[in-house]
Amino acid sequence: MKFGFDIDDTLINLRGYAFSIYNKKLNQKNALDVFEELKTVEIHHPFGLSDQEGKEMWNSSLEEIYFTSCPPYPKAVETLQELHQQGHEIYYITARPGEHGERTMEWMIQQGFPVEEDKFFCGMKDHEKVKIIEELGLDYYFDDKPSVLETLSSDTLKVFVRDQSYNRHYKAERLTDWGELKGILMEKNSR
């Protein structure tokens, strides 16, 4: 089987990590429950930043957000390693800007994710992911953004939304814990 994964906020807790960086940089103490209730993908509102300031904050912090110690979600690495060892193909499809592609791939390898260079795709816009996902003929695809998942309709592709506070309205198969995937797949295959 071919499994495709978005990276940020699907496999790794990027926004949560950025939230802690903003607290530190802006000398604020916004609590985790504030983060967990955010209804937007953007995280700057609790810090009192305008959209423009938020954008600037994100861009000026990008190096630290992307390439230091953002934690993968629990069991994400182990689950993907297990799929890989079972002979499944693991694809990554990220909308991170193309210039960060190479380093992002290296960073993912350092975190322990199973990465093959020809199965790593970077730099497309969210709405362009559909093209590569179709071309690859994936069986499964996981993403946190409804705007991406909405573009994917196919009889053969099964999509999952990685649960986040800003996507709870979206109706799709929902994954809240990577440790649950194995059981879900076993159940699907036994039907």
The verdict on 5 binding Mg ion (CB under 5 A) reads no
Nearer to Mg ion, 6 or 114 (CB): 6
DSSP 8-state class, residue 8: B
DSSP 8-state class, residue 163: P
CA distances to 40, 57, 168 from 121, in Å: 25, 26, 27
The verdict on 161 binding Mg ion (CB under 5 A) reads no
The verdict on 6 binding Mg ion (CB under 5 A) reads yes
Nearer to Mg ion, 9 or 178 (CB): 9
Shortest Cβ distance from residue 185 to Mg ion (Å)?
A: 21
Nearer to Mg ion, 9 or 70 (CB): 9
d(C-alpha 163, C-alpha 173), whole Å: 10
**Helix (H), strand (E), coil (C) string for 11-74:** CECHHHHHHHHHHHHCCCCCCHHHHHCCCCCCCCHHHCCCHHHHHHHHHHHHHHHHHCCCCECC
Shortest Cβ distance from residue 6 to Mg ion (Å)?
A: 4
Footprint on residues 126-145 left by Mg ion (CB under 5 A) = 144
Shortest Cβ distance from residue 98 to Mg ion (Å)?
A: 16
Assess whether 6 carries a catalytic annotation. Answer: yes
Footprint on residues 8-27 left by Mg ion (CB under 5 A) = 8-10
d(C-alpha 175, C-alpha 187), whole Å: 14
Tokens representing 153 are 């309709």
Nearer to Mg ion, 6 or 104 (CB): 6
The verdict on 43 binding Mg ion (CB under 5 A) reads no
Binding site for Mg ion (CB under 5 A): 6, 8-10, 144
The residues carrying an active-site annotation are 6, 8
